[in-house]
Amino acid sequence: MKSAREACEAAIARIEATEAQVNAFTERTVSRARAEADAVDARRARGETLPPLAGVPFAVKNLFDVEGVTTLAGSKINRGMPVATADAVLVQRLKAAGAVLLGTLNMDEYAYGFTTENTHYGPTRNPHDLSRMSGGSSGGSGAAVAARQVPLALGSDTNGSIRVPASLCGVWGLKPTFGRLSRRGTYPFVHSLDHLGPLADSVETLALAYDAMQGPDPHDPGCHAPRVQPVLPRLGAGISGLRIGVLGGYFHTNATAPAQAAAHAVAQALGASDEVDWPQAGLGRAAAFIITASEGGSLHLEDLRTRAQDFEPLSVDRFISGALQPAHWYLRAQRFRRVYRDAVNELFRHWDLLIAPATPVAAPPIGTDWLDINGVKQPSRPAMGLLTQPVSFAGCPVAVAPMWPDGTGGLPIGVQLIAAPWREDICLRAAQALQDAGVAHCKEPAL
């Protein structure tokens, strides 16, 4: 067994060897990492029982506060902010579980994007093909895990920002139920929709991290989980008795043949054949767009008035238009959300798990402006969230399984494993079954 310091040094060496190609990190916390690793090894030397993630290297999207580091949230404007005086709650909890922080990761500016083609810090490149995008907005998180720089990373997911990079980079990802994990100490995007969660190189690491981060936070009014539900002890329970369906309709129409093939392979492995319609998926996506634009634009209104030139060119127009949206659009979208969630929850009276592709395509080349999705020309950047937005709008937990279908030139496309609110255990049980069967897995990158 490697010592924590050995694991830390191996991660540092891997980052140094690959970072110039991938561009996943915006800040490296090497001195801190070595000190944390040495503290773990000192506990081992004293014969203490070690915490569950002892010595596991990790990194976080740069919208998480890290003590002594400026919380960039992918922006130029935030460079002038003071450094954080404390770690975000989830960073604290991973540290308490023994994990060792290696640094902060690149992202789309203020989390408004699906590609991590960041003008300020450069694009993060897909480790399986450096000419292609890593997805976003947690692109640095997906790429760092896929490049084997770290086995664990934290991201955020408002409309798909954990699931899209997990899909395009071929790693495991988990978007927990809305309200499950504390958001305290992170830079917000859309309070009504923001989730936080892990990306990892195995289901076991994903579950360990998720369990370590659970728990109430009385200082975060958005953290309203009913109780802590440890998942790791239930990973091996299998899928026997679960009612599993495959999402059709909208999720078939908006997925290319390779994405459909990835979902079909997962369905076969899990013994699912019944097709299920997700209620009003298109309207859910439209309402999510309205809420996202309105809250995002409102949050940055003062800077949009005085420093518009310092925003990311790929997002500034959307922030401005969101700030100008009529209030009644936002109110109607929020009212519809209540009806929508009720309809989705009704669906889970009949099904325990639902399967759908995570992205309509494999990773496009960096700079791609348009996609052809089954004969329909769509703008590439918003289209990457076609299949994730309707799900997160309902707040459901989702695990992403990395699949490698034919027709992608060797690139991955992830598959969403969707369960009812607060049932992350079902998502991860299905993920574990796929991993155990060798159906879904991470691959060594082309680097």
* Catalytic-role residue among 61, 95, 175, 380: 61
CA distance 396 to 392: 6
* Catalytic-role residue among 138, 161, 167, 294: 161
CA distance 190 to 170: 26
CA distance 83 to 188: 17
137 is annotated as an active-site residue: yes
Q: Show Cβ contacts of residue 371 under 8 Å, excluding neighbours closer than 6 positions.
A: 360, 361, 364, 377, 378, 379, 380, 383
Nearest to 5 by CA among 61, 49, 54: 54
CA distance 199 to 162: 7
161 is annotated as an active-site residue: yes
134 is annotated as an active-site residue: no
* Catalytic-role residue among 134, 137, 182, 380: 137
CA distance 438 to 310: 47
**What region does 8 belong to: left with phi over 0, alpha with psi -120 to 50, or beta?**
alpha
Alpha helices for 50-130 (secondary structure H): 89-96
- Asked if residue 87 lies in contact with residue 95, where contact means CB atoms within 8 angstroms, the answer is yes
Q: Annotated active-site positions, please? A: 61, 137, 161
